[in-house]
Amino acid sequence: MKLFHRLLPLAGTLSASALTPPTDLIYGHFEIQVDYTVTPGNPDAGWSFAVSYDQDDDFSSAAGVTRLDPETTVILASPRTRTAVPSPAGVFSRFGPSGTPIWILPQNNILGTCFLGVRTIMPAGTFQARVGNNYSPSAQGSTSLRLVSIAGTAVDAGGHFATWKTEAFGSVVFSFDSTDGITAADEIPTVPIGSHTHYNWGLTKPGIYHLTFEAKGKLMPAFGNGITSAQKTFTFAVPFSGRIGNGGGLLLSGVEAGAPRLLTADPAAGVAYAPDQALIEATTPAGPASSGLPGALWQWSGNLRTLPLAIPNGVGVAPATASGGLAPGAWSNVELEIAAIRGPGSFALLDGGGAVLADGPGDVLPLTAITDLPVAAAFTATGLHRVTFISRGTRDGQPVAGAPVTVTFGAGLTAEHDYAAWQTSFERTAGLPAGSLADPDGDFDRDGISNGFEFAFFWQGMDPTVRDAAKMPRGFPLGGGAAAIGFLRDTYKDPLDESKWQLRPCSSTDLLAWNVRSSRIPGFPLEIFETGRGEGNAYGRILDRELRVSGPVPGRAFFRFDLKPAP
């Protein structure tokens, strides 16, 4: 398959930084690491914890180990980690009946996943060896690692966490398991000093998991012969789908200063999205709710809400903003105007009885009362539809208006649509002959961006029939002399395992040698690395990402993207 390139320049001075920046890890080889330094008079102060990686990939020594602060590091479940409880469920029935979704960071090193182990680095002979609950002096020694507690939005929604190893002949041995409560049995009792062991890490619900572990050991007689321990919290996350079906909603929030902010949400899942990180899926055949639009084929039914609604998870938006609504005493004359519609066929926004509320640019939907209004969106053609809204109102007596916000609907399409469906949608929208956009390497609108890149960067607002090169991602300097390029990564198009399209961000300081980042070549977080960015406490399948360049790399930086079509 042909490999496409697109160059995006940035100039900035790059210098070393001693800080551990906020980082999420979605693939690559990492460790939950425990270190200990003998501290006379205060043995519990000798512990330290990190998420670590090894620059030389040699886990037989401490050389090359780099530590990330657990407080600024999130371990993320990639698309490939999603699986289901098998049939028969066997020992995995603790997670639910066969078919129940579960996300597993695997014990083996599988492309497109975090390969996560447990590692200790400390001098041999610091701790005694534990056998059962007994300790004895040892030339090597061991510590233990216990699960103390779990918390977070996923746990509040009923999510569970477990680790296990698949041993010889397929036997399964669990270490941590929250499904039966957390007790002293949730422990890896023996972690030999200098060891490096991998486990399966299972998570059962989207959202955030704060996992607190306790490291413990008995010091050798020469160091006081006492029991010492310490605890640290690590953060894991399972992304939400970014797919909003019937029962979802459009939210207007006024918690922030300025005009009402328009968001999309899946209240049943407890998540709200910035509109450029979610697709509203109108995949129900048209029925009575869309009777006001003649010829309607597809519909979506949900709510337009301005009332407060507790939303614990935010993707691209803070949960407090998503939950806030519009305070009745502060707001009046609230309305939504349709500024633009881009998609095949016709669109209408209807009330619960099928009456048209708005169906074209310039139409205004008044919300004179604070409301929770049942609405339906109807479409006469299959395809991708971008509907741009402007929100306005009077806040504390002052008129305010927001910038245009685009909400994307899939009429008869889900977030898992392929290039052919995308191609057909834009051909029909622009009235083009079938096949006009069939070549991913072509550039129909002659804006210097190939059709393939416009497909990959759909969530940037790209349209292959309109000259819109200015919407491509742009690089920017970061604090401390680092630099980055931000972009929205659609992990339905590129699930990070080379099974579909591959979008690979690259960087260079001289335009000759390029550092390519991918699940196969992840790079290192404190040097050149793709990580998360953006507002909110949660993640979705449309990820807000940045390629970050930091470290002692003097000169200027340039960025480009490589794009490889699906095999």
Strand positions, DSSP E, 279-355: 279-282, 284-285, 298-305, 313-315, 331-342, 347-351
Segments in 59-122 forming alpha helices (H)? none
Task: For 173-187, write each residue's pLDDT tens digit.
Answer: 999 999 999 999 999
Of 313 and 482, the one with more pLDDT: 313
One-letter amino acid at 514 equals: W
Task: For 496-533, write each residue's pLDDT tens digit.
Answer: 999 999 999 999 988 899 999 999 999 999 999 999 99
Q: What number is the average pLDDT over the span 248-259? A: 90
**How distant, in Å, are the alpha carbons of 72, 240, 260, 281, 461 from that of 384?**
37, 21, 25, 10, 12
Segments in 432-551 forming alpha helices (H)? 451-456
Q: Which residue has the tokens 């991998």?
A: 198
Task: Tell me what the pLDDT averaged over the chain comes to.
Answer: 92
**Calpha distance 324→307 (Å, rounded):** 8
List Cβ<8 Å contacts ≥24 apart for 3-6.
Answer: 3/562, 3/563, 3/564, 4/440, 4/441, 4/450, 4/452, 4/453, 4/562, 4/563, 4/564, 5/560, 5/561, 5/562, 5/563, 6/449, 6/450, 6/453, 6/472, 6/560, 6/561, 6/563
Does the structure show a pLDDT above 90 at 428? Answer: yes
Q: Which residues, including other chains, have CB under 8 Å from residue 104's CB and lie 6 or more apart?
A: 81, 83, 200, 201, 202, 203
Q: Which residues, including other chains, have CB under 8 Å from residue 218's CB and lie 6 or more apart?
A: 127, 128, 130, 135, 225, 226, 227, 228
**Calpha distance 239→278 (Å, rounded):** 12
Does the structure show a pLDDT above 70 at 4? Answer: no
What's the token pair of residue 267? 């209240």
Could you give the 3-state DSSP secondary structure of residue 97?
coil
CA atoms within 13 A on the CB side of 448: 8
**Calpha distance 242→276 (Å, rounded):** 10
Tally of CB atoms within 10 A around 410 = 26
Task: For 65-119, write each residue's pLDDT tens digit.
Answer: 999 999 999 999 999 999 999 999 999 999 999 999 999 999 999 999 999 999 9
Where does the pLDDT of residue 361 fall: very low under 50, low under 70, confident under 90, or very high at 90 and above?
A: very high
Task: For 274-321, write each residue's pLDDT tens digit.
Answer: 999 999 999 999 999 999 999 999 999 999 999 999 999 999 999 999
Segments in 50-207 forming alpha helices (H)? 153-156
What's the token pair of residue 6? 């697109």
Task: For 106-162, write each residue's pLDDT tens digit.
Answer: 999 999 999 999 999 899 999 999 999 999 999 999 999 999 999 999 999 999 999
Segments in 49-117 forming alpha helices (H)? none
**Calpha distance 560→511 (Å, rounded):** 10
Tally of CB atoms within 10 A around 446 = 9
> What pLDDT score does 18 carry?
37
Q: Are strands 47-54 and 73-76 parallel, antiparallel or unpaired?
A: unpaired
**Calpha distance 545→533 (Å, rounded):** 6
Whole-structure pTM value: 0.94
Tally of CB atoms within 10 A around 180 = 12
> What pLDDT score does 369 carry?
72
